[in-house]
Structure 1
Amino acid sequence: MSRVLIIPDVHLKPWIFDMAEKVNKESYDDIVVLGDLVDDWGMGSNLDIYKATLDRAAKFGKDHETSLWCYGNHDVSYLWDAMESGYSVQARITAVEGINKLERVLEGRLKFVHKIDDVLFSHAGLTETFVLHSCGYHMNEIEDILAKVNRMGKQELWRDSSPIWARPQHDFYRMFRDDIFYQVVGHTPVEEPLDACGVLTLDLFSTYSDGSPYGNQKLYILDTETKEHKEAILL
């Protein structure tokens, strides 16, 4: 059993890491960051906020040396030069340099999917469709499947059903081995934590285009044994 503090999509809000530092360290055992550190409404030419966010992420990753991190679609879009909504041509070099620095700091802790007990953590969710198409029916061990997924690149992952793009909240996707694994994701903005069909969605810091909050802007801790989540209390 582990109590996991979850940091969802940051999207150029470095103060979320400051907020996480205020959570009582006795209340959790592990930290998982769900990805999408970069890009936000109207910020494409603000290179300072890209650098500040990625520098703050690197410091947080260094200070919390067992924290686990997930790539988000916005993060890898710069590494793979794959344009999408929110991609900033002006910020590309700054984003790539900052994410590469983060990769060096984390030393292998930045992946597409992490597993703690029988809970899977990823940016968008590991779907049955994606695993069957990408890994085949012959691969059965979860460690082997995750190892293969975590080695994948743009060709395999730049698709709707992948763990950086899936939206099980809106589309009909069966989640991978949903009789065994519970999943925690960000990616899809929600106003409050959404626990449905074995998936807990926590993208709670997204905003409207005018900058006003869409979600409740709270952090949560998940108990990997009971699958219950509770609001993180700040000191």
Structure 2
Amino acid sequence: MSSSTETESTAAAVPAARRVGWTAAGVLAGVAGVVGIQASGGVTAVYDEGIAGNPVAIAERLTDQRTTILVEHFGFAIAALALLVFAAGLARLLTDRLERGSVLPGVAAGGLVVTSAVCLLGTGLTTELVFGLSERDQMVPEFAVVAAHWLGTIPWLWAAAGVSALAVAAASLRHGAVPRWLGWVSVVLGGLTALFGMSPLQYMAGFTGPVWVLVCAIGLWVSGRKQAV
């Protein structure tokens, strides 16, 4: 192998190696987001028709669901932090591959940063709820109801991740910055996530947003591996 060929192989391998870190963060964010959504769906006390309108009964049911609440908390907290790393890596990748001055890297990263903030805020009442439920005489039942509704709604607002997906789709299908298959996946999942976010069914975005993050991160890692070979 010639010296120039070795140099080119090394140059290709370095970006691919660097990509492992932030794409791994994206995989972690996607998995953690899915776990958080599933756990949130298991906190059913405030949605049980049999005890609807009865704050005391709801607080008692929530006491039995504290483990699920903690799983939700850790899922969304991990997703929030990992999304920041993934957003930075995605922005750098798109900046390197798109023409100078393109807004797509900023839009892609910005949507994920907003989603990170949403996830973090979604966990904001967990401490009050979990510890308050362990000492029921210290918590007003009506607050437990409000906090449970907060956990069941706020962290599901992944609409901004849909905007990130659409930015990746544009970078792929118009500029060839990432694989075309990922562009089409981003059109479908990103479009659904954004549309859900704009509708009265905005919480449905929590089902599709984390899945797109997971697929996108895996896709970018795999494409990076292929380029390094």
Structure with the bigger RCO (C-alpha within 8 Å, sep 6+) is 2
Question: Which structure has greater strand proportion?
Answer: 1
Give me the TM-score of the superposition, normalised by structure 1: 0.28
Higher-Rg structure is 2
Question: Which structure has greater helix proportion?
Answer: 2
Give me the TM-score of the superposition, normalised by structure 2: 0.29
